[in-house]
Amino acid sequence: MNIVLLWHMHQPDYVDRRSGKARMPWVRLHAVHSYLDMIEMVERFPGLKVAFNFTPVLLEQLVELGRGSVIDDCEAWSRIRAEDLTQGEKEKLLEHFFRANFDTLIRPLPRYWELLNRRGRIVNFQNLSELTNLFSAQDYRDLQTLYNLAWCGFACFRAYPFLRELRAQGRDFTEEQKHQLLDLHREIVRTVLPRYRAAVERGQVEITTSPYSHPILPLLLDTNLARRSMPHVNLPPQFSAPEDVRSQLALAQEKMKEIFGTRARGIWPSEGSVAPELIPFFREAGFDYFFTDEAILFRSLDLDPRWRGKSVDHMALFQGWSVNWGGSSIAALFRERPLSDFIGFQASQNPPDQAANFLLHHFENICRAAASQETVVLIALDGENAWEAFPDGGEQFLTNLYHGITSHSRLCTVRPSDHFDRYPPKTELGALHTGSWINADFDIWIGDAEENRAWEWLGRTRQFLRRIAEDRTFPSEKLAAAMRSLFAAEGSDWFWWYGPDFSTDSDLLFDEIFRTHLRNVYLALGFSPPPYLDFPICAPTPPTPYATPRLYIHPQLTGRLDNFFDWVGAGTVDALVQQTAMFQSHRLGQKLYFGFDEEHFYLRLDLAAAPEEIEVEFLAPQFRRVTASVLPSGSWRVRTESSDDAVLFENADERGVAAWEDFFVLMVPIAALGWKERDAVSFFVRLLRDRLVLERYPERGTIDFFFPSKDFEARQWFV
């Protein structure tokens, strides 16, 4: 019986393309752990045939890290001399350098376990500053070393005696030893891909791939396709980018040719996500077959008139299928889910010989029931994260499994292309369910408020880029850089961590990376990113201390306090209250007042010095920017601009009034702002000089209130 083993290797694009820094270390750490271990295990069994699915964005980062053009933050912090660590860097080490499996990676190193217990296994990361004094310079150096040592897999320890020496020493490492370890990481990263390519060239391994940055292709094609499997889901404004589907697939093939010398014949669509409309795209990109989950097959059979209503034996899963749609046809294999999930989730909890025997026993049962030599079982799963849960990184389990298969008289592993070349699919499927490998739907990536907001912001950015690209004279290199950041933001991983389905202590960092990719689209094009991209999606912004208006106000527009009651009932913001960890002295802003009457919005800003320019940025209910600029005569010009995307603004109104004497005062007609009764209003204020932002009020977040109905004052009245 034929067995296809497909190990999926993927990490999202962690690199901020403007700084050259990878915000997370997982490409490097998985390289010295799982990526090296997995190819080492294949090399130990020459008769074994395996498929590895590498995402192009992972390959790209492996190359960049290996040649030194990119460095991840954790490596940069590790290379700092322990005695030179700043307070902030010490906090980063205590936050990030224990992100490893406590039982399998930290506990086996007694000194590492000691440092973990000193920090605490459960920590309020807002209070890390209180813990830093518990650690000496040598403690921090040992932590820097042990973190990077713990992630080295069994193949590393087997190949490099220096690692075994460090493990035996256990503590009191020197700066020289630490840097030698980090340099060795770089060397290992450089060796990983050549070993996979060598395995391809000797016919033992096949490399398949996924769309370039691992997006959920059906949602990239049209987010409304989610309703097919989730008819009652609450969706964001429609996102549809078929041109990006085509580009993501074409770029994947380009990366395969660059790294492995040939195109990939097979594709694991990100998260096994498929829709029938994707079949022509797959074929156009040169793919001969795809993989996805068994649930997709059985739901597809219910959709196909030729199969609907028939009793289908589960053994139908164990064959190649020809899937047809819109005049295009492509081969497919559907994974056996329970056995694949057993490796990913349960095998590590059992003795390695028993876990391997469990799989071999089930393979034998399928083999006995199989009626054809064309029978094939697809085992497909994450090829990197599962091994952290094994005490030995999965070495003994994989040894037992690979030996059991390669020495079995009726079981054989096969590369998927070899199988399809020998046994072209004979069974046709005339329909394809739209869904993913998780519950055959897209609930993980869309439908929750956070997920939908991320899709909305991605859609705004995509639409802005389309508008810019219509200008044929726009520099192509800027467009290419912007597209690269857009593709990174389209990756599935950011949406995985939004919403209630999954959570990690890195949620805020994943959110920040996603928004950084979107900001970099605008920056690559030479535009300032829309200000809403500064606000986290996955957690509420810390509350801004302010009071909302409780009465209509009718102030004089002189910049003087002509009447004590002018600003009574206005909303207020204490501009001296600072929200960031960095203290700013000599602040110009003192206090901000804001309010309205039936037809006007008013703002007052008390300042320690005369202003040159003030911007009021409205993010809701409409994108509006009000700019007040002082003229050489000392009078003020006020212009209100409107926008559909908070990036490109058009002049909409110049009826505003501003003045400065004792304080700055501004009036803008409500009509120019586009407000209606009960609209939710969000805004912030910027103080500028020579177009440079000096201060922002509030420092973070927005000031929010509702523009009232006509009975506002009556409802606010009290005795």
pLDDT in tens, 112-121: 999 999 998 8
Average pLDDT over residues 222-228: 98
pLDDT at res. 184: 98
For residues 153 and 329, what is the distance between their CA atoms, to the nearest angstrom? 42
pLDDT for position 633: 93
Cα 352 to Cα 350: distance, rounded to the nearest angstrom:
6
Please tell me whether the peptide bond between 698 and the residue prior to it is cis, using omega within 30 degrees of 0: yes
How wide is the angle at C-alpha 613 spanned by C-alphas 610 and 617, nearest 5°? 130
Identical fold between 449-534 and 546-716: no
Q: Does the structure show a pLDDT above 70 at 255?
A: yes
Scored b (16 or more CB within 10 A) or e, 320-353 reads: bbbbbbeeeebbbbbbbbebbebbbeebbeeebe
Three-state SS for 113? helix
Instruction: Give dist(CA 200, CA 206) in Å, integer.
Output: 6
| pTM as predicted | 0.88
Residue 423 sits at φ, ψ, to 5 deg, of: -130, 80
Sign of CA dihedral 130, 136, 137, 139: negative
Tell the residue number behind the tokens 């700019």, with chain if given: 627
Query: Using an 8 Å Cβ cutoff, are 626 and 632 in contact?
Result: no
For residues 16 and 30, give the distance between their C-alpha atoms in angstroms, rounded to a whole number: 19
pLDDT at res. 583: 39
Per-residue model confidence as pLDDT tens digits over 213-223: 999 999 999 99
- CB distance 230 to 443 below 8 Å: yes
In a 13 Å sphere around the CA of 155, the CA atoms on its Cβ side amount to 25
Closest CA to 321 of 282, 294, 283: 294
Residues in the chain: 719
State mean pLDDT over 447-468. 96
End-to-end CA distance of the chain: 86
Across the range 231-260, mean pLDDT stands at 97
Q: Is the pLDDT of residue 716 over 60?
A: no
pLDDT computed for residue 714 by the predictor: 56
Give the mean model confidence (pLDDT) for residues 503-507.
78
By percentage, how much of the chain surpasses pLDDT 90?
83
Q: In the predicted model, is pLDDT for residue 715 greater than 70?
A: no
Residue appearing with tokens 């499997």: 229
Which residue in 564, 566, 565 sits closest to 556, CA to CA?
A: 566
Domain boundaries, the chain: 449-534, 546-716
Give the Å distances, CA to CA, from 582 to 578, 579, 699.
Answer: 9, 9, 11
Strands 703-706, 680-689: pairing is: antiparallel
Of the candidate CATH numbers 1.10.760, 2.60.40, 3.30.365, 3.40.50, the domain formed by 546-716 belongs to 2.60.40
3-state secondary structure at position 222 = coil
What's the CA gap between 83 and 72, in Å, rounded?
21
**Tokens encoding 590:** 């003192």
Q: How many CA atoms lie within 13 A of 164 on its CB side?
A: 8
Nearest Cα residue to 242 out of 268, 273, 217: 217
Confidence of residue 694 (pLDDT cuts 50, 70, 90): confident
Q: At 213, give phi and psi (nearest 5°).
A: -105, 15
Three-class secondary structure of residue 693 per DSSP = strand
Q: What is the mean pLDDT of residues 675-703?
A: 87
In this predicted model, what pLDDT tens digit does every residue of 8-62 receive, in sequence order? 999 999 999 999 999 999 999 999 999 999 999 999 999 999 999 999 999 999 9
Contacts of 340 (CB under 8 A, 6+ apart): 379, 380, 381
The kind and range of the H/E element at 303 are helix 294-303
pLDDT of residue 502: 75
pLDDT given for residue 507 in this prediction: 85
CA distance 109 to 106: 6
Instruction: Calculate Rg over the CA atoms of the chain.
Output: 30
CA distance 260 to 255: 8
Q: Residue range 622-633: average pLDDT?
A: 95
C-alpha span between 522 and 519 (Å, rounded): 6
Residue 584 has pLDDT above 50, yes or no: no
463's CB contacts (< 8 A; 6+ apart) are: 645
From 91-95, 228-232, 356-360, 700-704, the region with the lowest mean pLDDT: 700-704
Write down the pLDDT at residue 585: 47
Bond prior to 621 in cis (omega within 30° of 0)? yes
| pLDDT number for residue 127 | 79
Check residues 369 and 309 and name the one with the higher pLDDT: 369
pLDDT tens track for 423-439: 999 999 999 999 999 99
Q: Which CATH number fits domain 449-534: 1.20.1630.10, 1.20.1430.10, 1.10.4190.10, 3.40.50.1370?
A: 1.20.1430.10
pLDDT of residue 539: 65
Between CA 282 and CA 289, with CA 283 as vertex, the angle to 5 degrees is 70
Query: What is the reported pLDDT for 236?
Result: 96
Element (H, E) at 516: helix 507-525
d(CA 277, CA 245): 11
Residue labelled with tokens 């752990």: 33
pLDDT digits (tens, 9 = 90+) for 156-175: 999 999 999 999 999 999 99
* Residue 717: band (very low, low, confident or very high) from pLDDT cuts 50, 70, 90: very low
Angle between helices 449-469 and 476-489 (to 10 degrees): 170
Contacts of 71 by beta carbon, 8 Å cutoff, 6+ apart: 20, 21, 22, 65
Q: Do β-strands 15-16 and 21-22 pair in parallel, antiparallel, or remain unpaired?
A: antiparallel
Judged by phi (left if over 0) then psi (alpha if -120 to 50, else beta), residue 135 lies in: beta
Q: Which of 307-311, 442-446, 636-640, 690-694 has the lowest mean pLDDT?
A: 690-694
Buried-exposed string 170-194: b where 16+ CB fall within 10 A, e elsewhere: ebebeeebbeebbebbbebbbebbe
Place of tokens 């505003």: 656
Chain centroid, CA 440 distance in Å: 22
For 542, which DSSP code? P
SS3 sequence, 109-168? CHHHHHHHHHHCCCCCHHHHHHCHHHCCHHHHHHHHHHHHHHCCCHHHHHHCHHHHHHHH
Q: What is the mean pLDDT of the chain?
A: 93
Percentage of the chain surpassing pLDDT 70?
97
Q: Using 50, 70 and 90 to split pLDDT, how confident is the model at 693?
A: confident
Residues whose CB falls within 8 Å of the CB of residue 190, separated by 6 or more in sequence, listed in order: 66, 67
pLDDT at 300 over 50: yes
User: Three-state SS across 445-491?
Assistant: CCCCHHHHHHHHHHHHHHHHHHHHHCCCCCCHHHHHHHHHHHHHHCC
